[in-house]
Amino acid sequence: MEQFPIFLTTTGGSLLIVGGGVNAARKARLLSKASARVDVVADAPVHPELQALADTGAVTVHARPFTDEDVDGRLLVIGAAEDDDALLSRVAAAARAARVPVNVVDRPDLSSFLMPAIVDRDPLVVAIGSGGSAPVLARSIRAKIEALLPARTGALARFADGFRSTVARALPADARRRFWEWVFDGPVSSAVLAGDEPRARSALIDRLNRNQAGETPGLVQLVGVGPGDPDLLTFKALRAMQTADVVLVDSLVSPEILECVRRDALRIDVGKRSGRHTMPQADIQALMVDHARAGKRVVRLKGGDPFLFGRGGEEREHLLAAGVPVEVVPGVSAAFGCAAATGIPLTHRDHAQGATFVTGHARDAEGAPDLDWEALSRPGHTVVVYMGVATAPAIARRLMAAGRNPATPCVVVENGTRPDQRTLPTTLGALADTVAAAGVSGPALLFIGEVCQAAVADVAVQAPPLAAGAV
């Protein structure tokens, strides 16, 4: 490491920028965030942004030529004059002679320190340096970290700081570390990041009291992981998966997503496929309670969104009744993922004024779901059927009997958003035959409604239909 990263205390110090152009303006914008006096020396009219900073009092502009004495007593000096190598060399030499750290823009050879790319979540700051060799790479990494750190991360750091001495008095060092890990990865952090500090405060105090009483309550997170494409995971889901002690996985979770789970977390397969329950729901719930009571962070991974045909509601009720803290992390439901992947707008000003999500699970004596067929058969309305492959013939029959036009466009999407996605365009009248002929065996959705016309047209343009309309 040729440069050693440090965070310099600037409070009460004074910083100097030499130059008045766009480079100086950029540096001034950055340095004005430090609590220090910022002087700018420039002998020509300054850039408008620099002038605007001067007008607010964030920097002071001295309209005169640079003298060597300008560097005296400074914490840092920045040489930012464009196209004036002689002046930049003078600034660098004067700063070195006065033993003041100096940075000259785009001239590592004249600099004694480099300015990092910064992600600012004050008081939390991330600085990224590449030793001057790849500033564009450093900026691209900064953009990724910007996206990873929620906007209120700084608020979280300030919130935690407010409790530091209380926690230090209440807990011994080892317990303290586990306590803070819990704060930053659990419901307290989620509440602060959501802007709800009162809720965060009471959760933190409750946990602190329990820790002092020797209890180590765990947490269950019901995490929606979307329909299969790992790029559809939320940052929150990823964080939960990477901090879990125990992970319960069901069969709709794709292998690519499982790759994102912390390696040394205990994995329990509680997979369910249509008609074959490998673990009864009551046992799954008991498992979650047992692990959480042992103080573990339990993550229950669920395909799509936990609260849409995912039994998330009943699991949450059960956990709360057992006194186990629970958090729900939403996911992209299959309807949204598949709609986006196939170009089906669920609503459209010209074609559908609403959309309804229904389960296709057979409920009545004739093997059809128990649904409000009159309401679902209205034109200008999209119906999305989950778990409807087996009952597709009954569903189509009921909708047509209630008045929906047999020519209504439909699309069956199997394994949506995954590499093996199949898109089967059809009509309501031909839905049953399409499903049977294609031998749909993976998770699939039935989209029914005029909005499917767009997807059908797209699919026809992209590639001619294969046998049975499979694409």
Ligand X SMILES: C[S@@+](CC[C@H](N)C(=O)[O-])C[C@H]1O[C@@H](n2cnc3c(N)ncnc32)[C@H](O)[C@@H]1O
Please list the active-site residues.
Answer: 250, 272
Q: Quick check: 417 binds ligand X (CB under 6 A)? A: yes
Q: Terminal CA-to-CA distance of the chain, rounded, Å?
A: 54
- Among the listed ranges 122-130, 172-180, 261-269, 412-420, the one in contact with ligand X (CB under 6 A) is 412-420
At its nearest, how many Å lie between ligand X and the CB of residue 104? 55
At its nearest, how many Å lie between ligand X and the CB of residue 305? 4
- Among the listed ranges 108-116, 172-180, 281-289, 308-316, the one in contact with ligand X (CB under 6 A) is 308-316
At its nearest, how many Å lie between ligand X and the CB of residue 414? 6
Q: Quick check: 444 binds ligand X (CB under 6 A)? A: yes
Q: Quick check: 333 binds ligand X (CB under 6 A)? A: yes
Q: Looking at 382, 415, 423, 426, which residue binds ligand X (CB under 6 A)? A: 415
Tell me, by CB under 6 A, how many residues bind ligand X: 23
Q: Quick check: 304 binds ligand X (CB under 6 A)? A: yes
Please, which of residues 310-329 interact with ligand X by CB under 6 A? 310
Q: Looking at 19, 187, 218, 303, which residue binds ligand X (CB under 6 A)? A: 303
Residue sitting closest to ligand X (CB): 304
Three-state SS annotation for the chain: CCCCCCCCCCCCCEEEEECCCHHHHHHHHHHCCCCCEEEEEECCCCCHHHHHHHHCCCCEEEECCCCHHHHCCCCEEEECCCCCHHHHHHHHHHHHHCCCCEEECCCHHHCCCCCCEEEEECCEEEEECCCCCCHHHHHHHHHHHHHHCCCCHHHHHHHHHCCHHHHHHHCCHHHHHHHHHHHHHCHHHHHHHCCCHHHHHHHHHHHHHHHHCCCCCCEEEEEECECCCHHHCCHHHHHHHHCCCEEEECCCCCHHHHCCCCCCCEEEECCEECCEECCCHHHHHHHHHHHHHCCCEEEEEECECCCCCCCHHHHHHHHHHCCCCEEEECCCCHHHHHHHHHCCCCCECCCECCEEEEECCCCCCCCCCCCCHHHHCCCCCEEEEECCCCCHHHHHHHHHHCCCCCCCEEEEEECCCCCCCEEEEEECCCHHHHHHHHCCCCCEEEEECCCHHHHHHHHHHHCCCCHHHCC
Q: Quick check: 79 binds ligand X (CB under 6 A)? A: no
Q: At what angle do helices 48-55 and 22-31 cross, to 10 degrees?
A: 30
Q: Quick check: 330 binds ligand X (CB under 6 A)? A: no
Q: Residue 71 or 308: which CB sits closer to ligand X?
A: 308
At its nearest, how many Å lie between ligand X and the CB of residue 246? 21
Q: Residue 104 or 299: which CB sits closer to ligand X?
A: 299
Q: Looking at 79, 186, 416, 449, which residue binds ligand X (CB under 6 A)? A: 416
Omega within 30 of 0 (cis) for the link into 123? yes
Q: Quick check: 305 binds ligand X (CB under 6 A)? A: yes
Q: Quick check: 445 binds ligand X (CB under 6 A)? A: yes
Q: Quick check: 443 binds ligand X (CB under 6 A)? A: yes
Q: Looking at 387, 392, 394, 459, which residue binds ligand X (CB under 6 A)? A: 387
Q: Quick check: 129 binds ligand X (CB under 6 A)? A: no
At its nearest, how many Å lie between ligand X and the CB of residue 315? 12
Q: Looking at 76, 222, 308, 396, which residue binds ligand X (CB under 6 A)? A: 308
Please, which of residues 198-257 interact with ligand X by CB under 6 A? 227-228, 252
- Among the listed ranges 104-112, 117-125, 149-157, 330-338, the one in contact with ligand X (CB under 6 A) is 330-338
Q: Residue 24 or 338: which CB sits closer to ligand X?
A: 338
Q: Quick check: 338 binds ligand X (CB under 6 A)? A: yes
Q: Looking at 117, 220, 299, 413, which residue binds ligand X (CB under 6 A)? A: 413
- Among the listed ranges 13-21, 287-295, 414-422, 461-469, the one in contact with ligand X (CB under 6 A) is 414-422
Closest CA to 36 of 9, 14, 7, 58: 14
Q: Looking at 66, 163, 182, 309, which residue binds ligand X (CB under 6 A)? A: 309
Q: Which residues of 142-177 are buried (b: 16+ CB within 10 A; e: fewer)?
A: beeeeeebbebbbbbbebbeebeeebeeebeeeeee
Q: How far apart (Å, rounded) are the C-alpha atoms in residues 38 and 374?
A: 71
Q: Residue 70 or 229: which CB sits closer to ligand X?
A: 229
Tokens representing residue 174 in the block: 């080892």
- Among the listed ranges 21-29, 263-271, 287-295, 302-310, the one in contact with ligand X (CB under 6 A) is 302-310
Q: Looking at 386, 394, 455, 469, which residue binds ligand X (CB under 6 A)? A: 386
Residues interacting with ligand X, by CB under 6 A? 227-228, 252, 302-305, 308-310, 333-334, 338, 386-387, 413, 415-418, 443-445
